Structure 1
Amino acid sequence: MKFFAVLAVSVLLAGCVSPGDLESNDPSISTNTAKDPKRYALCVLPRWQDARSDVSMSETEYGYRLIAATNNMTDELLSIRKTSKGSAVKLYQRMAWAPGYGRGDMEQAVRGCL
């Protein structure tokens, strides 16, 4: 019985994924663009919002961050950081191997706005 209790707690904790948790993994997409972070973020944001309604954008110290999250789980995180030649773009996905609602459209937006 103890085993099942530990297993249940592990499953519940695994369900909570923060943006920091995603950023500790390798990005699904890592590339650069000549666009500045704000211009690039404003290109991707409406496309992500068309794909999913749970998208938010925030300004960071080094650029912008777009997040798609449901229930305590960050599903997609787009980090856009200013570089000397434009922006470094990194897309992190909770389960990059799994198909998800709007996932293909979101990846296409990341690439399409470069």
Structure 2
Amino acid sequence: MRILIAAVAVVMLAGCSTPNDLKSNKPTISSSSSKAPKQYALCVFPKWQEERSTSTMSETEDGYRLIVATDMMTDEVLEIVKSGNGSRVALYQRMPWAKMVGRGAIEDAVRRCL
């Protein structure tokens, strides 16, 4: 019984992912925008909230970070960084090849707001 509990715990921990875990992978979308980071973030964030109410937005040293996460793992991270007169944008996704609820709309919002 103890072995079973230990095995379940290991599997659950292996499924956890943080924003930094996702950023270790290549971004799904990498682009630039003529919009300032705040302007771009305020364009994308309401669209993300419509699709996934768990979306959050926070200010960073040089821009903004938007996150879609559950209690156990981070699914999407959008990094928006000041670059010249606009922004550099990078979307990181957990399992980008997997079809997840609302994923198409989340990617679409990133592209439409550029």
Q: How many residues align?
A: 114
SS where residue 109 of structure 1 aligns?
A: helix
Distance 1:14 1:31 in 2: 31
Partner of 2:90: 90
CA RMSD between the two structures? 1.7
Q: Per-residue deviation at 1:112?
A: 0.2
Q: Per-residue deviation at 1:72?
A: 2.1
Q: Per-residue deviation at 1:5?
A: 7.1
Map of 1:23-38 to 2, 5 A cutoff? 23-38=23-38
Output the amino acid matched with 1:78.
Answer: L
Distance 2:22 2:7 in 1: 22
Q: Per-residue deviation at 1:43?
A: 0.1
Larger CA deviation: 10-19 vs 51-60: 10-19
Map of 1:45-64 to 2, 5 A cutoff? 45-64=45-64
Distance 2:87 2:78 in 1: 12
Distance 1:95 1:85 in 2: 32
- Return the TM-score normalized by structure 2: 0.91
Q: Per-residue deviation at 1:8?
A: 3.9
Output the amino acid matched with 2:89.
Answer: V
Output the amino acid matched with 2:96.
Answer: A
Identity of aligned residues (%): 58
Q: Per-residue deviation at 1:71?
A: 1.5
Deviations 1:7-40 (A, max 9, x none): 5444222211000100111110000001010000
